Chain A
Amino acid sequence: MKRQETEVKAVKFGDSHVTTKEFLAPGHNFCTGCGESLAIRMALKALGENVILANATGCAEVCTTPLPYTSWRIPWIHTLFENVGAVISGVEAGLKISVQKGRLEDRGIKCVAMGGDGATSDIGLQALSGAFERGHDFLYICLDNEAYMNTGIQRSSATPYGAATTTAPAGKLSIGQITRKKNMPAIAAAHDIPYVATASPSYRFDLMKKIRKGAEIKGPAYVHILVPCPTGWRHGGDVTIEIGQLAVQTGIFPLYEIEHGRYRLNADPPKRKPVREYLKLQGRYRHLTDENIETVQAMVDADYARLKEKVEAFPA
């Protein structure tokens, strides 16, 4: 029997009010404990209903729209895997000119595009780069679960060094991914767009604030969200939030913003947790030796130091 549900419009967290409206209807096919579905849920609350969302092929699209059902309570379009940057460019241009020609009234509808790490930094990078370069007014959200998860955990350019995937598996001759994670926020920033940020559903209010910020800014904005994937990263569905916290606390996935080329580090723990604490919780890193882990630690230390240098050189 269904509980008496509330008329409460928002839930208060300190000074923030988070709407109780659910723009992503439950009943979707995301895995149990999926970090991506949580990130989307939070992002939609920050965006509100006056949006149009274009989605690339991937976990989100497949899990939310099995014909004849849809979880989307906002206008939503999916076409292909590799072109969401171009599709949203067309929506945005079409909206702008329709308002300008008096065909539509100006309702300030925000254009938002969403894609996984594959759609963003691999197959869809060209289209996204074009959208950034042309300066369309849109927010791009990258849901990064660090592999092509929807098709069965194949490697992407966002897969970190040492992670096992099905197309870069750990084996007698292989450590898994031998390349370094592509720095997609840096690529976005290199287009001189007004706003770039990293976010995590483990830091809910920071995520929602950044989504809102990205949506309010005029011009292209890019928010890169690390979303733990129980199925692909091989951890329990219950530790999704914990793993996301460790990613930030180890410095593996620092939370920062780049506003008009100026850096702001949102959290700079005085003593970062050792990467081992993060890696050991995930089956995709199970094969790493102590020496491997030391290598990863050195890489993370160096990357973090490099980020700090940028923060010091170009402070917001």
Chain B
Amino acid sequence: MSRRVALEASHAVAEAARMADVDVISAYPITPQTHIPERLAEMVADGELNAAYVPVESEHSAMSACLGASAIGARTFTATAGPGLEYMHNVLYVASAMRFPVIMAVANRALSAPISIWGDHSDVMAVRDTGWIQVFCQNSQEAFDMTIWAFRVGEDRSVLFPVMVHLDGFTLSHVVEPMFLPGQADVDRFLPRFQYPYSLDPDRPMTHGALGPPDIYSEAKLAQEMALQESRSVILAAWDEFASIFGRNYRPVEEYRTEGAETLLLTMGSYTETAKIVIDERRDKGEAVGLISLRLWRPFPFEEFRQTVSGARLLIVFDRCISFGMGGPVFSEVRSALYDQDKRPKVVGFVGGLGGRDVPEKEFGYMIDRGREVAEKGSDRMIETVGIR
């Protein structure tokens, strides 16, 4: 019995964790994630959610406690942002390698220095290699939906990987939007109970986290990578199942008006919605432009992505992070993904929207125009930027 509500995206995430009947929440507050643990703490204090809220003393401990809880078979959730994500960096690798299905919402925030509480994707890009399944959200509905979905996928017996749900700090996390909340019965249908097959149990003692000497480490890592790649099938199946129960379709690569598009914009996160407005304007003027949004970030959706862009002549990538010494990280990855293709567009990258810098519609227009110029004539700039003085 779904109902229409207005919810701040942070609260939508908290509500999803509540409806998923999470067992352990171990989180440390950091702007702009704070509304998520605050709402959850409130729910626990009022008896709306029966969970253990562990108010740890740092993000590193937050993720570490999540590992412990997951190891005992508890459904586990946390949230963080920016420097908090970095503070737990060491533990992120362990969560994936030890195959604990911890679900974490990240309110994407800029990394210091200078210290910035505002949004960009530098925190996301810093954790690309950690082995987590990662998805992006554009609005409150997606923030809710992806959180529910994350438990379903991460805890799947054939997956057992932690999942990050990314939502832009402030520009999404703090925005109240209309959305549909499903009924508990539907959530229960979609989300089975967590049954961890390797639980710490005196009746069946197991050793988790053994030492990996050189003659075994490589095989362990390869097994991890293969398992992460194979999780694709469950990722897609879970989205299909989600659609059949809740009526909303999600795909690894979202397309917007890409039919016959010569030029494609690539965005991630909530700026996708701003970009859509510009695409509409340009289409109205008869331009063959379209938009793709990467929803699934890891494992990278190679197949869907290559297929979606194959017909375009130009792909313009909008990065909200600088990978120092290398340029736009998504730009680099995307070019690499297309390198071997016979039919591929030219790829031009722009960096902007750093540390909460607003990227209004006209900037997306600028990217399309300047992108075409660079594709044709090349660029003498070290890096193409948008909205940076």
Q: So, do A and B actually touch in the complex, CB under 8 Å?
A: yes
Residues on A lying within 8 angstroms of B by beta carbon are: 49-52, 54, 61-62, 65-68, 70, 72-80, 82-83, 85-98, 100-101, 103-104, 107, 109, 126-127, 129-130, 133-134
Given contacts A67-B212, A67-B213, A75-B204, 18 further A-B contacts (CB under 8 A): A51-B202, A61-B209, A65-B207, A65-B210, A75-B205, A76-B207, A86-B61, A87-B67, A87-B68, A90-B54, A93-B24, A94-B52, A94-B73, A94-B76, A97-B24, A101-B50, A103-B193, A127-B58
Q: Is B69 an interface residue (CB 8 A)?
A: yes
Residue ID in chain A nearest B98 by CB atoms: A79
Residue ID in chain B nearest A62 by CB atoms: B211
Is the CB–CB distance between A126 and B57 below 8 Å? yes
In the complex, what distance in Å separates the CA atom of A62 from the CA atom of B212? 9
Partner of A133, one of B57, B211, B213, B220: B57
In the complex, what distance in Å separates the CA atom of A75 from the CA atom of B23? 21
Residue ID in chain A nearest B50 by CB atoms: A101
Tell which of B65, B71, B204 has the most Cβ of chain A within 10 Å: B65
In the complex, what distance in Å separates the CA atom of A61 from the CA atom of B207? 11
Partner of B202, one of A52, A83, A87, A130: A52
Known A-B contacts A78-B209, A86-B65, A126-B61; the reply to A94 vs B23 at CB < 8 A is yes
Partner of A96, one of B52, B58, B210, B220: B52
Q: Inside 8 A of A86's CB, which chain B residues have their CB?
A: 56, 60-62, 64-65, 68
* Number of A-B residue pairs at CB separation under 8 A: 165
Chain B 30-73 interface residues, beta-carbon cutoff 8 Å to A: 50-52, 54-58, 60-62, 64-73
How many Å from the CB of B238 to the closest CB on chain A? 23
Residue ID in chain B nearest A53 by CB atoms: B200
Is the CB–CB distance between B65 and A89 below 8 Å? yes
How many Å from the CB of B160 to the closest CB on chain A? 15
Is the CB–CB distance between B74 and A79 below 8 Å? no
How many Å from the CB of B62 to the closest CB on chain A? 8
Is the CB–CB distance between A127 and B202 below 8 Å? no
Q: Inside 8 A of B64's CB, which chain A residues have their CB?
A: 79-80, 83, 86-87, 90, 127
Q: Is B389 an interface residue (CB 8 A)?
A: no
Residues on B lying within 8 angstroms of A by beta carbon are: 23-24, 26, 50-52, 54-58, 60-62, 64-74, 76, 90-91, 94, 98, 193, 200-202, 204-213, 216, 220
Known A-B contacts A83-B64, A90-B26, A94-B69; the reply to A50 vs B56 at CB < 8 A is no
Residue ID in chain A nearest B25 by CB atoms: A93
How many Å from the CB of B132 to the closest CB on chain A? 16
Tell which of A68, A89, A109 has the most Cβ of chain B within 10 Å: A89
Is the CB–CB distance between A89 and B91 below 8 Å? no
Is the CB–CB distance between B54 and A79 below 8 Å? no
In the complex, what distance in Å separates the CA atom of A81 from the CA atom of B24? 23
Q: Inside 8 A of A75's CB, which chain B residues have their CB?
A: 200-202, 204-206
In the complex, what distance in Å separates the CA atom of A80 from the CA atom of B209? 9
How many Å from the CB of A151 to the closest CB on chain B? 13
Is the CB–CB distance between A98 and B207 below 8 Å? no
In the complex, what distance in Å separates the CA atom of A66 from the CA atom of B213? 7
Known A-B contacts A79-B91, A89-B54, A126-B57; the reply to A61 vs B211 at CB < 8 A is yes
In the complex, what distance in Å separates the CA atom of A77 from the CA atom of B201? 11
Is the CB–CB distance between A70 and B52 below 8 Å? no
Is the CB–CB distance between B52 and A82 below 8 Å? no
In the A-B complex, the 10 residue pairs with the smallest Cβ-Cβ separation, listed nearest first, are A90-B68, A90-B65, A130-B57, A94-B69, A94-B74, A78-B209, A86-B61, A86-B64, A65-B210, A83-B64
Residue ID in chain B nearest A113 by CB atoms: B68
How many Å from the CB of B212 to the closest CB on chain A? 5
How many Å from the CB of B51 to the closest CB on chain A? 6
Is the CB–CB distance between B211 and A89 below 8 Å? no
Partner of B54, one of A51, A93, A126: A93
Residue ID in chain A nearest B216 by CB atoms: A67
Q: Inside 8 A of B24's CB, which chain A residues have their CB?
A: 90, 93-94, 97
How many Å from the CB of B10 to the closest CB on chain A? 23
